[in-house]
Structure 1
Amino acid sequence: MATSPQTSVSVTSVIVETSPPARIGTRIAHPVLRTTLQQFLRAGAWVADFGPGPAELIFRATRLSEAPARILGTPRGLHRHPVFFDNFQAEWLWTAPIPDPRIARDAVILYFHGGAFIAGGLNSYRRHTARLGSISELPVLTVDYRQLPDAHPNDSLDDALAAYHYLLDQGFAPEKIIVSGDSAGGGLALRLALTARDQGLPLPAAISVTSPWADFDSTARMAHANANADAVLPAAGPAMVVRRGIAINGVLDPSWSVVNHDFTGLPPILLQVGSREMLLADALAVAQRCAEAQVSLRLQIRASAPHTLIHLGAGLLADGRDAACDAAEFHRAMIDSAATGRSAA
């Protein structure tokens, strides 16, 4: 069972929960990641910032890391089925006793992976999405959306919309769809919901995101106390991706960042983030938008959890398993509330 939050504070429609102190595994992860993965990412960001050529080289190199991720393997008992779209690929994942989603159009998680729009994919995220679907008792459609340098995040949004349309066209009721993602994929999940609302599409039952990259403007993150506390993301990383990949001719359109939108009408949101993450600034901005729009938000701030390892480390870290169980409980509550016509927010 998940560990109950230590503190719960209600602010209008927003409930902020802080977890108990991190366990030993999470605390050890910080210095290990800070001296290994973060240094690798810091070096990559430094090289990429020399100009368009080096940036493209680094972006393509990070994309190449997806192929060897096949060695991570597939969990025993996992069923997989590819889905091919015009510009990208997705795959169904489910485990018994969850029925085949190609036959039983009941409830589903639509998942968007992280990776700063330059990394991540079906191979590297398969074990994570399979675990999340299994404990949520739901099948998962995980989307390998287009990324930099071959496609802009606006193209990634088009792919997200195509995947959402696919579920609706397949007969999945919108109130039985959970839209989920982490980091860049978490921001993409939120942007999908906002775009669906603006286009008059039926909205999903809920949104479940981990450490969403919700603001492409680095100003607030760089000014936050966590700018130098993150164990994974160097402060220069997201800013470099924006300068060298997302901004067009040096111009960053504010509408590309979800924190610059009115959240009115969005479904309930679960947002999980680490207390020492750089993207805590983005999470707090999302919370502010939800409060202003009276959108139900459950903001879980997990003590000392490294970026995205809140869930991705669930196979190794007890704190990660707690977070994944909390997410699964939220998913089931949202689906069950739709089935009974009650509000579980």
Structure 2
Amino acid sequence: MTPQTSESVTSVIVESTRPARIGTRIAHPVLRTTLQQFLRAGAWVADFGPGPAELIFRATRLSEAPARMLGAPRGTHRHPVFFERFDAEWLWTAPVSDPRVDRDAAILYFHGGAFIAGGLNSYRRHTARLGTESALPVFTVDYRQLPDAHPNDSLDDALTAYQYLLDEGFAPEKIIVAGDSAGGGLALRMVLTARDLGLPLPAGISVTSPWADFDSTARMAHPNANTDAVLPAAGPAMVVRRGIAIDGVLDPSWSVVNHDFTGLPPILLQVGSREMLLSDALEVARRCEEANVPMTLQIRASAPHTLIHLGAELLADGRDAARDAAGFHRAMIEQASTGRSAA
């Protein structure tokens, strides 16, 4: 990675990247006047009550079917894997070997979408590109979502997928656990839970803009609540009220930021400087510092939420972010291969 500035704070390295390029700067007003307005309207309707919320959640999920037309980059190999309660798939591109035969190393990926959107179809191009950049196969998981399943069920699916890789013969020190937004928070929560269950931990965690705190108080008070180009301030709070809280009660243990991070592997966290989930990212960094967990917090100038990577096909800044993540993935796997200390 080539940060413009780098500051070491105990185990946490904070990197600020170069100023945003013109494409990223243009994306802000475009997204604020299009996608954010659509999401704002959906959040407003959903907050009328349980019925409208379920309607919006299900309507959002419908976008996954037409996303199949996006396909995958040319040369990508795909193999579906079916579990009892969810589906997943392998993606790899030559010269990477077929992960069903060569069980050397892999990325385990959890997509974003606020637990109401996203899936294998909409994320296929992104995860395939990330695997190609990282020279690793990607196992991406279509975990259960609202309104049919709670994020606790999503966590069960994430653990099942991780255990599947271990059972298939992948060494934990050769696995990178990754995700973005809701999937980024899920990735962190899965590794924390694996630690508590006594499972061997992966080589590293690579997350983009993780939704790590279901309590919206800190996010709403942060200046970025008014500068995010994608997420309306009311969006995550609505999903919590209408989907995640049970009988109006939100269990603090469901939020990643309320856990002790002791013993976790190295973490790369990429987030935009103006997005709402910067607040969550800073709390994750604080937990890493308290637990002396090696972490690189990369704050990318003006990068819109999730477009840090998802916009890699269109935005040069997105391609830079993807290359930085891929470099982290390869470094973690190489350290496991050579026996060097991950710290």
Could you tell me the TM-score, scaled by structure 1's length? Answer: 0.99
Runs of 4 or more, structure 1, over 6 Å off, are none
Measure the CA separation in 2 of the matches of 1:74 and 1:124: 10
Identity, % of aligned positions: 87
Cα shift readout 1:181-238 (whole Å, capped 9, x = no counterpart): 0000000000000000000000000000000000000000000010010000000000
Cα shift readout 1:107-145 (whole Å, capped 9, x = no counterpart): 000000000000000000000000000010000000000
Cα offset, 1:67, TM superposition:
0.2
- In the alignment, is residue 41 of structure 1 matched against residue 60 of structure 2? no
CA RMSD of aligned residues (A): 0.6
Name the aligned partner's letter for residue 11 of structure 1. V
Q: Specify which of 323, 327, 330 is matched with residue 329 of structure 1.
A: 327
Q: Specify which of 121, 139, 142 is matched with residue 141 of structure 1.
A: 139
Name the aligned partner's letter for residue 227 of structure 2. A
- In the alignment, is residue 295 of structure 1 matched against residue 293 of structure 2? yes
Measure the CA separation in 2 of the matches of 1:161 and 1:230: 31
Match of 2:20 in 1: 22
Cα shift readout 1:237-269 (whole Å, capped 9, x = no counterpart): 000000000000000000000000000000000
Cα offset, 1:73, TM superposition:
1.8
Measure the CA separation in 2 of the matches of 1:160 and 1:272: 21
Q: Specify which of 128, 153, 156 is matched with residue 154 of structure 2.
A: 156
Match of 1:276 in 2: 274
Q: Note the 1:97-176 alignment, pairs <5 A.
A: 97-176=95-174
Name the aligned partner's letter for residue 275 of structure 2. E
Match of 2:221 in 1: 223
Contact 2:266 2:342 in 1 (8 A): no
Contact 2:203 2:266 in 1 (8 A): yes
Measure the CA separation in 1 of the matches of 2:3 and 2:308: 14
Cα offset, 1:71, TM superposition:
1.6
Contact 2:110 2:178 in 1 (8 A): yes
Cα offset, 1:70, TM superposition:
1.1
Contact 2:183 2:210 in 1 (8 A): yes
Cα offset, 1:344, TM superposition:
4.2
Aligned residues: 343
Q: Note the 1:188-207 alignment, pairs <5 A.
A: 188-207=186-205
Name the aligned partner's letter for residue 289 of structure 1. R
Name the aligned partner's letter for residue 300 of structure 1. Q
Cα offset, 1:343, TM superposition:
2.1
Could you tell me the TM-score, scaled by structure 2's length? Answer: 0.99
Match of 2:50 in 1: 52
Measure the CA separation in 2 of the matches of 1:169 and 1:194: 19
Cα offset, 1:74, TM superposition:
1.9
Name the aligned partner's letter for residue 30 of structure 2. V
Name the aligned partner's letter for residue 184 of structure 1. A
Structure 2 residue matching 1:65: 3-state secondary structure: helix
